[in-house]
Amino acid sequence: MPPGTSRDNCLLPLLKATASTTGSDVRIVTISSVAEKFAPRHNAFATTKDLSDPGTTDPNDYTSRKTVFSRYGASKLANLLFTRELQRRLDEEDANIMALAVDPGPVATDGGMGVFPGFLKPVLKLVMKSPERGALTQLYCATAKEVANEPENYKGRLLTAPGKTNMGSDRSRNSELARSLWRITEEALRTVGI
């Protein structure tokens, strides 16, 4: 890495350079979820402390499932706010890049089922999507011609199925909250030398 170059700026300049070429189609897809609505109301992403939630780390502690979902919701809200703020910044610079967020829905992966007690997992596998089906919306966001042809319908949006956008919660559309999240994330990255 050249002197004076920070790691957090290495990929975006490359994406912008690619986007400036004729016929380019550059997209940034972030995984989020409609579960962002479970984010704790008190978290305003005002300080770097708001990026931390100790919650539980014990998978057998079923009394704290609410804490797990709260922490999960906060992470998905942050991902959605990030996507919307990134799109705003890209549009401000007239960068021909599209940022989208995806909710793959309930997918039967180890991570997706990790918050549930073991006895429920066989039943959940029957009602949850396979990992292959769970990837369809991400693939749509990354490759569909409709997304490239109708950018105003997709820029900064959350998709819950191929071609299906979702408004998300009022908090996920709060531009001040998105800017604050961006600011404290930059602060947190600086403190670890990135």
Amino acid at 124: L
pLDDT for residue 4: 43
User: For residue 98, is it within any domain?
Assistant: yes
User: For residue 159, is it within any domain?
Assistant: yes
pLDDT for residue 7: 52
User: For residue 19, is it within any domain?
Assistant: no
Residue 130's contacts (CB-CB under 8 Å, 6 or more residues apart) are 107, 108
* 76 within 8 A of 36, measured Cβ to Cβ: yes
User: For residue 14, is it within any domain?
Assistant: no
pLDDT for residue 2: 40
User: For residue 4, is it within any domain?
Assistant: no
Q: What is the CA radius of gyration of the chain?
A: 18
Assign residue 30 the CATH number of its domain: 3.40.50.720
**Number of structural domains found in the chain:** 1
As a whole number of angstroms, the distance between CA 106 and CA 123 comes to 13
Q: Which of 62, 72, 140, 154 is catalytic?
A: 72
How confident is the model over 171-177, as a mean pLDDT? 97
pLDDT for residue 115: 67
How confident is the model over 130-136, as a mean pLDDT? 92
Domain that holds residue 75: 25-191
User: For residue 8, is it within any domain?
Assistant: no
Locus of tokens 């793959």:
104
How confident is the model over 116-141, as a mean pLDDT? 88
- pLDDT band (50, 70, 90) for residue 123: confident
As a whole number of angstroms, the distance between CA 132 and CA 118 comes to 22
Q: Does pLDDT of 121 surpass 90? A: no
pLDDT for residue 79: 97
Active site residue 72: yes
User: For residue 2, is it within any domain?
Assistant: no
User: For residue 115, is it within any domain?
Assistant: yes
Q: Does pLDDT of 10 surpass 60? A: yes
Helix (H) or strand (E) holding 190: helix 175-191
How confident is the model over 135-148, as a mean pLDDT? 96
How confident is the model over 31-55, as a mean pLDDT? 87
As a whole number of angstroms, the distance between CA 45 and CA 94 comes to 27
Q: Does pLDDT of 150 surpass 90? A: yes
Helix (H) or strand (E) holding 132: helix 131-134
SS (H, E, C) 82-110: HHHHHHHHHHHCCCCEEEEEECCCCECCH
